[in-house]
Amino acid sequence: DASFLSEGSSRFETTESKNSESLARSALCAWVRKLGDGKWSTNAAPALATAFVSGQLLPFVETELSLGVDKAEREMAMSICTLCSLEGNPSELLWPAIHKGLQSIPSVSCTKTPAIYRATRSVTLLEFGCLEGALSGIGNGELVYDENNRTLMPPPQSIEAMLSNAVQFLMLQLMS
């Protein structure tokens, strides 16, 4: 049956492509970490993330949706999160920029303000940082598992406040 052969070969290609992707990612990671005597990515990644959130790297663009993020913003956020992951300390590199845009929740208005753009970009970095598996408590306190109660301890107050602000911002945008 020809369909069986095509299914089997696609499964093989998927496994093979995952292996080659992880090898390629490892090679790229090693290459990025060697740039500029090993300091380039450590300095560039957080600077790029902060510049992105503040609008210095990519200008703010008005979109028709209240919480719309244009394609260039999504691609930039994804690229920054990938760079941070390749550097090796993604959580420490991303959290400061995410925090910058979510320090306080901007009020919702008909016109977008720089605070709304910063919050939107912080949420976009948060999204891609989670998708990349790059965010943890590192740099903002560790997430701790309590062996006695077999439960995860609450996140550090700074992370909990930041995530609460992100959810409140999204809710305000959805309700407006």
Model confidence pLDDT, tens digit, residues 118-151: 988 999 999 999 888 888 765 454 556 667 877 7
What number is the average pLDDT over the span 63-87? Answer: 82
In terms of phi and psi (left: phi > 0; alpha: psi -120 to 50; beta: otherwise), the region of 113 is: beta
Residue with tokens 């408590």: 137
10 Å Cβ neighbour count for 26?
11
Asked if 158 contacts 140 with a C-beta cutoff of 8 angstroms, the reply is yes
Amino acid identity of 8?
G
**Residue 159 CA neighbour count, 13 Å, CB half:** 18
Look up residue 107 and give its two tokens: 């009020």
Question: Rounded to an integer, what distance in angstroms lies between the CA atom of residue 157 and that of residue 77?
Answer: 25
Give the residue, 21 or 79, on which the prediction is more confident.
79
Angstrom CA distances, 38 to 87, 94, 98, stand at 9, 18, 24
pLDDT in the model for residue 12: 38
10 Å Cβ neighbour count for 3?
7
pLDDT in the model for residue 134: 82
Asked if 90 contacts 138 with a C-beta cutoff of 8 angstroms, the reply is no
pLDDT in the model for residue 19: 64
Residue with tokens 């911002």: 169
Residues 6+ apart with CB under 8 A from 144: 152, 153
pTM above 0.75, yes or no: no
Considering only CA atoms, give the Rg of the chain: 19
What number is the average pLDDT over the span 4-14? Answer: 40
Most confident of 6-10, 76-80, 106-110, 170-174: 76-80
Q: What is the pLDDT of residues 15-74, one digit of tens each?
A: 555 566 688 888 888 888 888 887 888 899 999 999 999 999 888 877 655 556 788 899
Look up residue 122 and give its two tokens: 């912080």
Q: Is the pLDDT of residue 79 over 90?
A: yes
Give the residue, 154 or 55, on which the prediction is more confident.
55
Q: Is the pLDDT of residue 10 over 50?
A: no
